[in-house]
Chains A and B, each alone.
Chain A
Amino acid sequence: MSSETQTSSQAGRPGFIWAVPAVLFFGAFAVLPMVAVVYLSFTTYGGLEAPVWAGLDNWKRLTTDPLVVNSLWLSAMLTLLSWLVQTAIALPLGVYLASKGRMRSLLAAFFFVPLLMSGAAIALLWSTLYDPNFGLASIIGPLIGVEDGNFIGNPKLAFYSVLLVIAWQFIPFHTLLYQGAARAVPVSLYEAATIDGAGRFKQFTAITLPQLRDTIVTSSVLMLVGSLAYFEIILILTGGGPGAATRILPLHMYITGFRGFDMGYASVLAVILLVLGTALSLVITKVTGFRKMASQREGL
């Protein structure tokens, strides 16, 4: 292997061939499908027989599918609200847990336990808690005005019930990011502010928040990208229902493709997901400077 790369100027350096296995593997199971999904969106494909070219038929159906606007709207709302709720809780919580102290590190260890749970495990736990007859919902519901305790079966409440579970799943991760970042803030800044007579709230807004700016960006980007992949929690909790009240875009795609075996049209929905994902990934490389870092330090 190495003999191919040992030209005089390149002695001992690994050549392109070293990256080939990873590229081929990634190409076959990630990139090839990304290309193929565009092709499949122009076909009729039921999953059993080979796809048949159908031209623009599937794409024309976008305009007449009332669920697609609904699912895009739900995805957008879920993304936005998840970002707001999760940041509003994870940031102060991470900052709080960043301070030293036995109590706080015990609390932190406890708060990170949901990180270990899969989406399926969390969804099953919460669907039990949301059970209107035997779950926690039957106790909490009457206290907050939901007399029958039926949260996920109620078209108005299902969306927010799902939002809560998703927040429960992902807040620990972002708390961890903020905890790490808050620990890196120089303590001298706080000492100086204390001498100047700044109170705790003033210190938070004038020191902590500006110092956490990069982490706020990273965490926000991860939330935005991650929200495109919210899937099993909703599938298990509500199946997209009641009606289509929680049928976000990935779920609409899955149900169309693998419950209705309408994989051609499901590919149209998948292309929309793909475009959204790629756009976000371009934003990531821009915002976080991965690409810049790569070009500056490439090849040493």
Chain B
Amino acid sequence: MPFKEKIAWISVVTTILVWGGYFGFMAVTGQRMPGQVYMVGFVGAVIVQTILVVVASIVTAVLAPKDASAGSDERDREIARRAYSIAYPVLLTLIVCVAASMHLGVTPRDMAYEIMAAIVVAEIVHYGAQIVGYRSGRHG
């Protein structure tokens, strides 16, 4: 498995776990807790995901140092470009939906959380598209 695909797997799994946990907690508590709780949770989620991705990437690089130091080649760049071209419209669509939700009485604070969720979904699509690119082939 290419090193870049391993990193995409690490990123997508940690994103789903950490941010799924964060937004799941938010959905379960129905935002009944003080705003500071969600703010601390947000900062905690950023820190936890950063640590998980960095540690998992270091372990992966140590296990396959040659692959890790190989850098990107034309196939990696093509897969990355395609992944962005798929994720970007998803992000734009979700941001437009968030903007439209303003007319449904959504508060600015909720909109901020919706924008965060849109970014998380777009990132999951981005990493997912990279994985599909490496798995399926036929992208040259």
A and B from one complex: no
B interface with A by C-beta (< 8 Å): none
Measuring CB to CB, which residues of chain A are less than 8 angstroms from any residue of chain B? Answer: none
